[in-house]
Amino acid sequence: MEAAERRNQTLIVELILLGFGNDPELQPLLFLLFLVIYIAAVTGNLLIVVLVVSDSHLHTPMYYFVANLSTVEICFVSTILPRLIGSLATGDRTISLQNCYVQFYISVILSNAECLLLTAMCYDRYLAICHPLRYNALMNSRVCGHLVAWAWIFGIAYYVMLHIFILQFRYCGPKEFDHFYCDFAVLIDSFCGNTRILQRLAFYFSIISNIGVFLLTVTSYIRIITSILRIPSILIPLLNPVLYCLRNKDVHQALRKALLKLVAFRHRPEV
């Protein structure tokens, strides 16, 4: 009996992603919607990359990170949306198990790289605002390259670690999923055996990485806000003439006389 079940389990070579249902009236609208979203996302991000590369005035750390972030966004939407658009156009919602794994792994790498690039951008703004005189020395091209490289290395390392553990399990089903792309939360319960170790590993790793990124981001913004609050206001210099005048005795007397004349004028009998 167990041998027969194992043979049946290995027969699953493709999955069905149900996505947004089978409503024939809704499919064309969804197709156009996601096609426009995909074209706009790719065109906008590609334009940013081209501008940053071609314009020497944009060869700064901030735009360097923006260009890399746009590259990640292009790769991310290209990993998910083309397959979804194709299924909406043809009605074919099947995807091979291997392609599902590829889509899942690429999305893992890109999501982690995107998160760390955003953190690097926060750190860049912190240095620019809190250490403006040392900014060019602290955030040079070498440092920028290292930060971007580590963002990709971290994402790939997480994928490799996750892949090693997933290889120890075999996919058992189900064949249909109420989703439009292969997500880890969808696939995790579909492996044979005890997947608690895999779930705990993914959970703890996500907690550690998210808390680390959150603390770095919050710390950067706290330091930025603190530095801004230490900057002298524009307000005080404008009030200085008023404050100094109000503390002068001659000004007090002149102000008193002006007020008395104003009162006398208002109470002057009408002719």
194-220 residue pLDDT tens? 777 777 777 787 787 778 888 888 888
Where do the structural domains in the chain lie, given as residue ranges?
2-231, 242-271
pLDDT score for 146: 93
Instruction: Tell me phi and psi for residue 11, to 5 degrees.
Output: -75, -15
Per the CB < 8 A criterion, the answer to whether 175 and 187 are in contact is no
Name the DSSP class of 16: E
40-57 residue pLDDT tens? 999 999 998 998 888 888
Calculate helix-pair angle for 61-90, 26-54, nearest 10 degrees: 160
Pairing of strands 94-96, 176-177: unpaired
Neighbours of 50 (CB within 10 A): 12
| Average pLDDT taken over every residue of the chain | 79
pLDDT score for 2: 41
Assigned CATH topology for domain 2-231:
Rhopdopsin 7-helix transmembrane proteins (1.20.1070)
149-182 residue pLDDT tens? 999 998 888 888 888 877 777 777 667 777 778 8
102-130 residue pLDDT tens? 888 888 899 889 888 988 988 888 888 88
Identify which has the larger pLDDT, 247 or 100: 100
* pTM given for the model: 0.72
